[in-house]
Amino acid sequence: MACHPSSSGKKVSAICTSWSSSRVQADSPGHDDRTNRSLNNEWVEITNTTRDVINLRGWTLRDDDGNRYRFDNVRLAGRATIRIHTGSGRDTRTDLFQNSRDYIWDNRSDTATLRDDRGRTVDTESWGRRHH
Ligand SMILES: [Ca+2]
Ligand SMILES: [Ca+2]
Ligand SMILES: [Ca+2]
């Protein structure tokens, strides 16, 4: 987990120490055939480990290849988990969709970086090894 310490915000430092983008399913089960179903079985889960509601508006989720997802007005309750799917679908309280037509999270290696609305890194999740 990476986190830039904040001198001002008690709230931000609390987020930094408490947040985790806890799980990534980078390799959609089965053959990667680029169907929407397969794309949606590639996802990142973010868990709010605090007891406070956090609004993710303006927050971003990025990979190592320049893909970026920007959150809308999404309120994540305390202790709640939200799953961000790669493919298309209708956003709900527990599931969001990037509406991408291609995979985002590289099966072998990649990094998911969550940043808040001020561009500060809240959490990172890496897997595999870099090849360049
Ligand atoms: Ca993948
Ligand atoms: Ca697969
Ligand atoms: Ca990627």
| pLDDT computed for residue 132 by the predictor | 54
Neighbours of ion ligand 1 (CB under 5 A): 26, 42, 103, 105, 107
What is the pTM (predicted TM-score) of this model?
0.83
3-state secondary structure of 123: strand
Neighbours of 8 (CB within 10 A): 7
What percent of the chain has pLDDT above 70? 81
Q: How close is the Cα of 10 to the center of ligand 3, in Å?
A: 33
Q: How close is the Cα of 16 to the center of ligand 3, in Å?
A: 24
What are φ and ψ of residue 16, in 5° steps? Answer: -60, -40
Q: How close is the Cα of 104 to the center of ligand 1, in Å?
A: 6
What DSSP string runs through 54-101? Answer: EE-TT-EEE-TTS-EEE--S-EE-TT-EEEEESS-----SSEEE---S
What are φ and ψ of residue 21, in 5° steps? Answer: -85, 85
- Write out pLDDT tens, residues 22-76: 689 999 999 999 999 999 999 999 988 888 899 999 999 999 999 999 999 999 9
**Residue 9 in this model has a pLDDT that exceeds 70:** no
Q: How close is the Cα of 43 to the center of ligand 1, in Å?
A: 9
Place of tokens 């997802």: 69
What are φ and ψ of residue 40, in 5° steps? Answer: -80, -10
Domains of the chain, earliest start first: 10-127 (2.60.40.1260)
| pLDDT computed for residue 124 by the predictor | 87
Q: Is the dihedral of CA 4, 60, 48, 77 positive or negative?
A: positive
Q: How close is the Cα of 101 to the center of ligand 2, in Å?
A: 15
